[in-house]
Structure 1
Amino acid sequence: MIRERRDQRRQAYEQKQRQWLWMRIVIGVLGVLVLGGIAWGVYSYVQDRNLNVVPDGTRNFEYAGGDHVNPGETVAYTETPPVGGPHDNAWQNCGAYAEPVRNENAVHSLEHGAVWIAYRPDLDQEQIDTLRSMAAQSYILVSPYPDLSAPVVASSWNHQLQLDSASDERLDQFIRRFKEGPDTPEPGALCSGGVGTPS
């Protein structure tokens, strides 16, 4: 009888220990989930803020969209490369080009939300390859541009950033902020089905 009671107490004690073990596991898992949720919230907040960063050195302009010129007509743009203004009816297909593209077609692509990354033709091949790889994204146009004032110039409708290198982190910030950005006059318009064949 004493042995029976001792066995019952031991079994009760072991059962309680198992319950406490499971309780600690559940509390631990819930704690990890709560901490993970907080970490995800902080990460999302930081990412959202990074998307809205206007990179240092970005110049802003004010052009309205929708002003077309006759096919083949040349426009005397103020900025090099241009960031807005009158443009050809046909847009430049997005992608990477080995030769310069017509300003008037590229500006139409900017109107559709593209970012145009122009570079000096004598830029180091490794940097050119880096820029060309960016054209794998949608709404990115990459081309050489003679006589640029900087080695690399990123342009979107009404915005431009001059850079010394293709690896400058501000280029990615510019793309995130302005590709199909808030100043796009024709959001949702295509960046394909126009003129030009990316190489």
Structure 2
Amino acid sequence: MSPKNSSGNPAKQAEQALTVKQQREAKRAEKLAEYQRQVAKRRRTGVMWWIVGGVAALAVVGVVVASIVFQPAPRPSYESGAGTGIEIAGVETFAHETTHVEGVVEYEQTPPAGGPHNQYWLNCAEYSVPQQNEYAVHSLEHGAIWVTYDPELVQGEDLETLRSYMPSSYYILSPHEGMDSAIALSGWNSQLKLDAVDDERIPQFFEEYWRSADVPEPNAVCTGAIDGEGKV
């Protein structure tokens, strides 16, 4: 018996066979096209993730580079008690008594570089306003360097330059009233007055007098006492 819907006509049978073949080829072509679309989609997805990953990696690199480029410059390092007695041009030295007193003291130098002082010291730091002499002088007794400046002459980039000389501790940086120079560096019984923030004697003074072994109370702390107004 002939298959259902088949024709006994050879020409008709050939036409039907051709139609079936075309249908099969069309299906294969459709499957191939779908496969190619899936492959292309996976490729696009892969490229997209490569791009996302690349952008993320670049972002991480950018953060790392920025953290290196824009991080604050490290504080200079001076050696404690390293003074050798060398002469630094312009440095004046004095002989002051060291006693604890109450009230205001009339000092011989402006700013002072030693003498009677309050029983409490000024905590070492940067301050944006002038500080009380009697507290700061006690800090000098502990080996700190007090860097004072005329705020009308030293500001902006000059102040930034002055900051760059400050070590991590045992320093006070503050404006001061009544100065006869732009800058003054004061240690216990020693002082250097300058007119320029790029003077090479600034680090020399720190190297010679910072945490000097010749102060009345070497190695005494410079924290834990008085926080002056305007502490930065």
Question: Structure 1 residue aligned with 2:171, among 113, 137, 140?
Answer: 140
CA deviation after TM superposition for structure 1 residue 134, in Å: 3.5
Taking the aligned partners of 2:188 and 2:182, their CA distance within structure 1 comes to: 20
Superposed counterparts of 1:94-113, under 5 Å: 94-113=124-143
The answer on 1:129 being equivalent to 2:160 is yes
Aligned to 1:68: 100
Larger Rg: 2
The two structures, once aligned, show a CA RMSD in angstroms of 1.8
Taking the aligned partners of 2:140 and 2:100, their CA distance within structure 1 comes to: 13
Aligned to 1:172: 203
Q: Indicate conservation of the 8 Å contact 2:96/2:114, yes or no.
A: yes
TM (norm. structure 2) is: 0.60
| Count, aligned residues | 148
- Runs of 4+ in structure 1 over 6 Å off: none
CA deviation after TM superposition for structure 1 residue 169, in Å: 0.8
Identity %: 41
CA deviation after TM superposition for structure 1 residue 90, in Å: 0.8
Read off the aligned partner of 2:94 and give its amino acid letter: F
Offset from partner CA, 1:10-31 (integer Å, 9 cap, x none): xxxxxxxxxxxxxxxxxxxxxx
Taking the aligned partners of 1:58 and 1:106, their CA distance within structure 2 comes to: 19
Question: Structure 2 residue aligned with 1:150, among 168, 174, 181?
Answer: 181
Taking the aligned partners of 2:147 and 2:211, their CA distance within structure 1 comes to: 14
5+ residue gaps in structure 1? 1-46
Taking the aligned partners of 1:77 and 1:51, their CA distance within structure 2 comes to: 26
Taking the aligned partners of 2:136 and 2:156, their CA distance within structure 1 comes to: 23
The answer on 1:190 being equivalent to 2:221 is yes
5+ residue gaps in structure 2? 1-78
TM (norm. structure 1) is: 0.70
Taking the aligned partners of 2:83 and 2:216, their CA distance within structure 1 comes to: 20
Offset from partner CA, 1:166-186 (integer Å, 9 cap, x none): 211101000110011132110
Q: Indicate conservation of the 8 Å contact 1:97/1:142, yes or no.
A: yes
CA deviation after TM superposition for structure 1 residue 157, in Å: 0.3
Aligned to 1:13: none
Aligned to 1:3: none
Question: Structure 1 residue aligned with 2:112, among 68, 75, 82?
Answer: 82
Taking the aligned partners of 2:105 and 2:179, their CA distance within structure 1 comes to: 18
